[in-house]
Amino acid sequence: MKNLHDRGVISRYRQYLPVTDATTVVSLNEGSTPLIYSPKLSKLVGRGAEVYVKYEGLNPTGSFKDRGMTMAISKAVERGAKAVICASTGNTSAAAAAYAARANLACAVLLPAGKIAAGKLLQAFIYGAKVVAIRGNFDDALRLVRELGADGRFEIVNSINPFRIEGQKTASFEIIEELGDAPDIHILPVGNAGNITAYWQGYREYHGLGKATKRPRMTGFQAAGSAPIFLGHVVDKPETVATAIRIGNPASWQGASDAVKDSGGCIDIVSDAQILEAQRWLAAEEGIFVEPASAASVAGLLKCFSNDRCAACPFHQYPEGAKIVLTVTGHGLKDPEAPMVHGFKALEADATMDAVAKVLGVSC
Ligand code: AN7
């Protein structure tokens, strides 16, 4: 039978992942996402720099979570699990529900009530998960998931499951293969901090194998109202328009701190206004539509070239011709509401050439 999984991250990177012949691969052909050159961001950085956007919104469920979920669900099947569970700000639940559906596993998702973008909530429903809206935030939901998963009835597929991190590190492999080396600086949004931990692991592994001559400075951006790592303390009531990263007590806090410290990077913050403006800018200037949390990467890079950059900003000193990669983690269509702050409105016209020409400001 044709191997339907021959394009997923497990089949592509099998030798670097903890899978065996006993692992039944559950895949939707995730990964291999485009690394898109950004002329305008490259110009902003100057000095011959090349800036690339790793467009993770083009994964099967529209976010980077699919890379980790193919691993977590494949391993859950291998271990004989019958049901999986996760807490989520939306994207993890979408991915868990999809991969669980494919593997015939039951899936329960605990979501902060009223704080999930419309597209993500719809995904959990349509893929057939049991959706529980928690009267609390993501951190409350994750605490409950840890308790519910403790006795083995459910396999936890949050990023506290180490297989998730293993799968997500494959994004670094792809970047190194595509650029021929690691970039100098890598920028990404930070919420529960699993992804920055995973990228750093991937970069270290490929560097250790001689596939890269260097490792990038890992630079993470949190939303200003949900910035526990930046502030150095838990945030009890996290708030941000970027609901995906509305997290006050990240599970992989230590991993993020290590990545930043070991790589000479930093964790900084961007405001909701900066996030929404960067989201619009990336769509309107480069044709790349990402969700608000993902735009934190772009807002972060723009901040690095403003008067407001942080003391540890890697752009205080960077080499000529530097290569910079920004991960944009999720697709813009997941959250059709947040960008409407811009007040987009159609021009209206009667169905005549004259009327259309008039609103377009052209003559016919
Ligand atoms: C689009 O889905 O935590 O720092 O439960 O959906 O690895 O948490 C999502 C996180 C960035 C932050 N961008 O990544 C969840 C969840 C998007 C996201 C992040 C998330 P981590």
Is the CB of residue 42 below 6 angstroms from any atom belonging to ligand 1? no
Strands 35-37 and 50-55: antiparallel
Is the CB of residue 245 below 6 angstroms from any atom belonging to ligand 1? yes
Question: Residue 5 pLDDT > 70, yes or no?
Answer: no
Do the beta carbons of residue 109 and residue 130 sit within 8 Å?
yes
Rounded to the nearest whole angstrom, what is the distance from the C-alpha of residue 315 to the centroid of ligand 1? 25
Strand order across the 323-328 sheet: 35-37, 50-55, 323-328, 185-189, 217-223, 266-270
In the chain, where do the E strands start and end?
35-37, 50-55, 83-87, 106-112, 130-134, 155-156, 185-189, 217-223, 266-270, 323-328
Question: What does the alpha-carbon distance between residue 192 and residue 91 come to, in Å, rounded to a whole number?
Answer: 12
Question: What does the alpha-carbon distance between residue 305 and residue 326 come to, in Å, rounded to a whole number?
Answer: 15
Rounded to the nearest whole angstrom, what is the distance from the C-alpha of residue 350 to the centroid of ligand 1? 44
Is the CB of residue 158 below 6 angstroms from any atom belonging to ligand 1? no
Interval 185-243: pLDDT, tens: 999 999 999 999 999 999 999 999 999 999 999 999 999 999 999 999 999 999 999 99
> In the predicted model, what is the mean pLDDT of the chain?
96
Q: How far is CA 363 from each of CA 353, 354, 359, rounded to the nearest angstrom?
A: 9, 8, 10
Question: Residue 1 pLDDT > 50, yes or no?
Answer: no
Helix, strand, or coil (residue 70) = helix
Helix, strand, or coil (residue 12) = helix
Rounded to the nearest whole angstrom, what is the distance from the C-alpha of residue 265 to the centroid of ligand 1? 20
Interval 282-323: pLDDT, tens: 999 999 999 999 999 999 999 999 999 999 999 999 999 999
Helix, strand, or coil (residue 317) = coil
- Place 3 in a pLDDT band, splitting at 50, 70 and 90: low
Do the beta carbons of residue 129 and residue 93 sit within 8 Å?
yes
Rounded to the nearest whole angstrom, what is the distance from the C-alpha of residue 225 to the centroid of ligand 1? 15
3-state secondary structure 271-305: CHHHHHHHHHHHHHHHCCCECHHHHHHHHHHHHHC
- Please give the model's pTM, rounded to 2 decimal places: 0.97
Ligand 1: nearest atom to the Cα of 189:
11
Is the CB of residue 167 below 6 angstroms from any atom belonging to ligand 1? no
Do the beta carbons of residue 335 and residue 193 sit within 8 Å?
no
Interval 65-76: pLDDT, tens: 999 999 999 999
Question: Residue 331 pLDDT > 70, yes or no?
Answer: yes
Helix, strand, or coil (residue 325) = strand
Tokens of 161: 């499951």
Is the CB of residue 249 below 6 angstroms from any atom belonging to ligand 1? no
Do the beta carbons of residue 84 and residue 61 sit within 8 Å?
no
